[in-house]
């Protein structure tokens, strides 16, 4: 009886942690935020690129809106006016990952992120397994970048990790048993209209799995021509086919309550202006705008049927939006 009662109390407390109501409406002053992921306690883990002065970090935001820095002092650099380094976090099956493109490293938290409390923070690099993907990715025939640029991750139920590399224009698989990397899929170049003589890279940016296939959003490479970005479907055997086309500068992809893609248009691009402020949008799979006038949206995570977390790189904010 006592054991059963204690068990019920423990389960009740855990349920209360998981379902704790969020009281924040907006989180601001994020420094070049790159991505978010939600743990079993309802907390949001956020990666921030910092200022480019080796101050990238991983933080956690409580349902009350309190931000705690978890891992700091990660390398970051400025390239073409943008901060590069840390990428989106990914949490699935009680496992947290994030990648660091500048270093070519993938970090896996050794503990269940939902099991950690404030007393456990800050963490150190020794709390993570670290895998080096740089040499493998740079050797791929599709890679033309000076370093790997892992931008998104997906942990499959079988334990294999699927790695989306924007620099290598490829998906890479890490076998859970051997730890070996292998090329899983590569994305074709995009024909470029005159007067540009070369094709654009696909530049994959976002990765989701709908239960039967992967869906991948693409930015398209410089000069970032309009309506050149695409959504690709990737089978579980690695076969790549075009799913939807005629998008502009897609930076991420999420699934709606029906399992259909929702994508982020990062911004419109001008040769003189670069990426233009407040030209970002949230679009459905057919390109219809669900929200517009957003300042460089970088990540979108569905909270429930109609509510999403929206992360803005340009404003340094995290908001909730109903679509």
Q: For the chain, what are the domain ranges?
A: 187-323
Q: What is the predicted pLDDT for the residue at 6?
A: 33
| 223 cis-preceded (ω within 30 degrees of 0) | yes
3-class SS at 28? coil
Buried-state track 249-262, b at ≥16 Cβ within 10 A, e below 16:
bbbbbbbbeeeebb
142 Cβ partners below 8 Å, 6+ apart?
168, 169, 170, 186, 187
321 Cβ partners below 8 Å, 6+ apart?
282, 291, 307, 308, 310
Mean pLDDT by runs of 10 across the 323 residues of the chain is 37 45 94 97 96 94 97 87 87 97 90 96 97 89 72 97 94 97 93 67 95 96 79 98 96 98 92 85 97 97 97 97 95
Contact between 97 and 161 under an 8 Å Cβ cutoff? The reply is yes
Cα 116 to the chain's mean position, in Å?
Answer: 22
d(CA 142, CA 138): 9
DSSP string, 139-196: TSTT--SSS--EEEEEE-TTS-EEEEETTTTEEEEE-TTT--EEEEEE---B---TT-
For 323, counting Cβ atoms within 10 Å of its Cβ (0-12 exposed, 13-18 middle, 19+ buried), the class is middle
Provide the 10 A C-beta neighbour count for residue 73: 13
Residue 17 has φ and ψ, to the nearest 5°, of -65, -45
Q: Model-level pTM greater than 0.75?
A: yes
CATH class of 187-323: mainly beta
Q: What is the predicted pLDDT for the residue at 145?
A: 60
Q: What is the predicted pLDDT for the residue at 83?
A: 80
């Amino acid at each position: 009886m006592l054991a059963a009662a204690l068990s019920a109390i423990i389960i009740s407390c855990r349920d209360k942690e998981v379902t704790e109501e969020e009281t924040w409406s907006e989180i601001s002053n994020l420094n070049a935020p790159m991505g978010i992921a939600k743990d079993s306690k309802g907390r949001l883990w956020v990666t921030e690129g910092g200022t480019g002065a080796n101050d990238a970090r991983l933080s956690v935001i409580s349902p009350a809106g309190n931000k705690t820095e978890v891992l700091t002092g990660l390398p970051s650099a400025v390239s073409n006016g943008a901060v590069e380094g840390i990428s989106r976090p990914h949490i699935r099956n009680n496992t947290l990952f994030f990648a660091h493109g500048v270093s070519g490293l993938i970090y896996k938290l050794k503990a269940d992120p939902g099991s950690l409390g404030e007393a456990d923070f800050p963490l150190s690099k020794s709390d993570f397994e670290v895998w080096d993907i740089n040499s493998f990715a740079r050797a791929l025939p599709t890679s033309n970048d000076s370093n790997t640029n892992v931008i998104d991750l997906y942990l499959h139920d079988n334990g294999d990790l699927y790695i989306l590399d924007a620099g290598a224009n490829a998906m890479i698989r890490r076998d859970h048993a051997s730890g070996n990397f292998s090329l899983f899929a590569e994305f074709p170049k995009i024909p470029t209209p005159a007067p540009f003589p070369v094709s654009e890279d696909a530049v994959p940016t976002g990765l989701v799995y709908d239960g039967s296939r992967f869906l991948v959003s693409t930015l398209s490479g410089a000069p970032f021509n309009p309506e050149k970005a695409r959504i690709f479907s990737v089978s579980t055997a690695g076969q790549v086919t075009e799913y939807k086309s005629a998008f502009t500068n897609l930076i991420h992809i999420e699934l709606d309550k029906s399992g259909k893609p929702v994508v982020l248009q990062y911004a419109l691009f001008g040769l003189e202006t670069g990426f233009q402020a407040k030209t970002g949008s949230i679009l459905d799979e057919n390109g219809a705008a669900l929200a517009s006038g957003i300042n460089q949206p970088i990540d979108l995570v569905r909270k429930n049927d109609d509510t999403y977390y929206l992360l803005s790189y340009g404003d340094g904010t995290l908001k909730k939006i109903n679509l």
